[in-house]
């Protein structure tokens, strides 16, 4: 999206709470990736329309997205997975400060190894993937089994800084990530079991609904 349009859209968004502003400042200071404002705004609107009873988030970081979802959906319970113990501890503190610890459950560990444990808290009406970009396809295949019949899967960063549209990417690591994300996008759009759309907000948001 054109940067000036993105800034304009961000300027229209309601002012966020002091806690969310504090988390945004920490994320910028410590270079913790959190969802871009226009993208999370769109995702939350989809979720309000969907009104999920339970959400699974893969990739907690400091708990920003989990708390934004909890704030927008006051009757929803959220399970969120984080591999980094330091980030998980930060998230737990923020969730406690927000008084949301009764609605948000953090599972600490590698999401590739937590399907059985996560299934005990499911099934889920929505799944949000925002973790290791190279593992998106595995996350989708492993956790889509826990989705309810009319459920949706939301995937962030699917345009990966625009590199997915570039013919050549000089940075070797970015080139590898872009290739994997392009493969994931093709996988989504060709999947027989889901209807998917990719929305060019933030770093790209994919929304996939079970057929």
Which residues participate in the annotated binding site? 35, 65, 82, 110-111, 130, 156-157
What span, in angstroms and rounded, lies between the C-alpha atoms of 81 and 131? 9
- At 32, give phi and psi (nearest 5°): -90, 120
What are the binding residues for Mg(2+)?
130, 156-157
What are the binding residues for S-adenosyl-L-methionine?
35, 65, 82, 110-111, 130
Q: Are 124 and 146 in contact (CB under 8 A)?
A: yes
What span, in angstroms and rounded, lies between the C-alpha atoms of 140 and 128? 10
- Number of CB atoms found within 10 A of residue 113's CB: 11
- How far is Cα of residue 40 from the mean position of the Cα atoms in its chain? 8
CA–CA distances in Å: residue 155 to residues 11, 12, 182: 24, 24, 13
DSSP string, 96-151: HHTT-TTTEEEEES-GGG-HHHHHTT--EEEEEE-S-GGGHHHHHHHHGGGEEEEE
């Amino acid at each position: 999206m054109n940067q000036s349009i993105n800034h304009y859209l961000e300027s229209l968004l309601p002012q966020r709470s002091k806690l969310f502003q504090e988390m945004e400042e920490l994320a910028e200071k410590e270079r913790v990736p959190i969802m871009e404002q226009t993208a999370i705004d769109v995702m939350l609107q989809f979720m309000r329309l969907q009104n999920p009873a339970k959400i699974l988030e893969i990739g907690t970081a400091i708990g920003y997205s989990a708390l934004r979802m909890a704030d927008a959906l006051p009757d929803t319970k959220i399970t969120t997975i984080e591999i980094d113990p330091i980030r998980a501890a930060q998230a737990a503190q923020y969730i406690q400060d927000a008084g949301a610890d009764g609605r948000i459950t953090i599972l600490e560990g590698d999401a590739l190894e937590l399907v059985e444990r996560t299934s005990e808290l499911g099934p889920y009406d929505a799944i949000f993937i925002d973790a290791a970009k190279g593992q998106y396809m595995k996350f989708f295949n492993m956790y889509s089994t826990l989705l309810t019949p009319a459920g949706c899967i939301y995937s962030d960063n699917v345009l990966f800084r625009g590199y997915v549209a570039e013919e050549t990417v000089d940075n070797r690591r970015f080139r590898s990530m872009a290739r994997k994300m392009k493969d994931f996008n093709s996988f989504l759009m060709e999947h027989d079991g889901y209807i998917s759309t990719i929305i060019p907000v933030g770093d790209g948001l994919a929304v996939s609904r079970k057929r």
